[in-house]
């Protein structure tokens, strides 16, 4: 099913994964109150002049996708998580670091602000 809104995306899930997605959305919304919500690359996305961050549910982890530089800038805080260029995996079997997600979103907003 091709989803068109973040509500539709989250509605596909239940239990703990749904709760994690809802909390992730709320944390990003609080950090980026002026951002628009959309679906991009079939993932929930927050947009403000450009994509700020995507997030997605996977079988064993929450994926967040803040862009390539984030994994380098936040490397010291990501040592216990699997990362690749522009992607960070937070396993469901541990606490989701919502404060770190907030920090990353605020950093992305600063990046976007300095580009324009």
Examine the pLDDT at 24 and tell me if it is beyond 90.
yes
* pLDDT band, residue 1 (cuts 50/70/90): low
- The single residue listed with the structure tokens 């998580």 is 81
Six-digit token string for 71: 């994994």
What is the average per-residue pLDDT within 8-28? 97
* CATH code for the structural domain at 6-115: 3.90.1150.200
pLDDT tens digits, 67-105: 879 999 999 999 999 999 899 999 999 999 999 999 999
Percent of the chain whose predicted confidence (pLDDT) is above 90: 92
Phi then psi dihedrals of residue 73, to 5 deg: -60, -40
pLDDT for the residue numbered 67: 87
Query: How far is 36 from 18, CA to CA, in rounded Å?
Result: 21
For residue 16, the tally of other CB atoms under 10 A from its CB is 9
* Domain range annotation of the chain: 6-115
Query: How far is 61 from 12, CA to CA, in rounded Å?
Result: 16
Query: How far is 31 from 53, CA to CA, in rounded Å?
Result: 11
pLDDT for the residue numbered 108: 96
**This prediction's pTM:** 0.94
């Amino acid at each position: 099913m091709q989803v068109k809104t973040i509500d539709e995306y989250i509605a596909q899930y239940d239990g703990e994964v749904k709760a994690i997605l809802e909390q992730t959305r709320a944390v990003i919304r609080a950090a980026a109150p002026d951002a628009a919500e959309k679906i991009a690359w079939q993932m929930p996305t927050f947009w403000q002049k450009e994509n700020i961050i995507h997030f997605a549910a996977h079988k064993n982890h929450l994926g967040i996708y803040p862009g390539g530089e984030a994994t380098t800038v936040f490397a010291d805080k990501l040592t216990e998580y699997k990362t690749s260029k522009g992607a960070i995996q937070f396993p469901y079997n541990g606490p989701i670091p919502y404060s770190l997600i907030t920090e990353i979103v605020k950093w992305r907003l600063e990046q976007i602000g300095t580009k324009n």
